[in-house]
Amino acid sequence: MIRLPKCSDHVRRALVENRIDLFCEHSNRYTFDGLSRLARDAGVSIPALSRVMAGTHRPSYVMVTRVVGALEEALGVKIDPREVIAENGEYPTESVCAVLSCTGQCKGMGREPH
């Protein structure tokens, strides 16, 4: 039997990061009950999505495409999956606001700066 070295939570989180919550904050659809509603829209389980969003679970390709598809539908824009889920926090675009061409309505609402 092969034994893999144990990773601390810090190392595990560094492997796969996501900005799902930041994309959700840009949609009125996910303002209330966002996790449950996104899981339902994407056709994934709430616990699985919760683990991905917490950074404790590496998402499958199917989960990523379903979540990104649900976000695209809610936001009305095409989103590169690499903007949502990234290894070691390296995203093609610095902020979600830049990805979505945000007009500034999210300032002061706990969302990322422009």
Would 59 be classed as within a structural domain?
A: yes
Would 39 be classed as within a structural domain?
A: yes
Would 22 be classed as within a structural domain?
A: yes
Which CATH number do you get for residue 65? 1.10.260
Range of the domain at 62: 9-100
How many separate domains does the chain show? 1
Q: What tens digit of pLDDT does each residue of 4-61 get?
A: 555 555 544 446 899 999 999 999 999 888 999 999 999 999 999 999 999 888 999 9
- Residue 104: what pLDDT? 64
Would 112 be classed as within a structural domain?
A: no
Would 106 be classed as within a structural domain?
A: no
Cα–Cα–Cα angle for 37, 86, 4, nearest 5°?
105
Tokens encoding 49: 């999505």
Higher pLDDT, 99 or 6: 99
Dihedrals phi, psi of 51, to nearest 5 degrees: -65, -40
Would 20 be classed as within a structural domain?
A: yes
